[in-house]
Amino acid sequence: MSEQHATLLKTARERLVEDRRAFAKIIAAPFEREKTRDAREKFIDIQAAIEAVDRAIEDEDRQVAT
């Protein structure tokens, strides 16, 4: 069961990385006050979510190993 959860988490992580890349493009584009600021905030939120998913994947992997 933990392997299924790890696979699900890895898929979620891939989607979050795609979203992060989209916001990185906005941040890298010429500065537009509101749009750029919002993209930065969302980028940071997504990065935090990716890190949380990474920890969850590690936890699932540990459970499979035991």
Taking the domains of the chain in order of start, what are their residue ranges? 2-65
Residue 56, token pair as written in the block? 């969850």
Torsion of CA 56, 57, 58, 59, to 10 degrees: 50
pTM, 2 dp = 0.90
Say how far residue 53 (Cα) sits from the centre of its chain.
7
Residue 11, token pair as written in the block? 């898929």
Q: Per-residue confidence at 2, pLDDT binned at 50, 70, 90?
A: confident
Render pLDDT for 16-56 as a digit per residue (tens, 0 to 9).
Answer: 999 999 999 999 999 999 999 999 999 999 999 999 999 99
Round to whole Å and give the CA distance between 33 and 15: 26
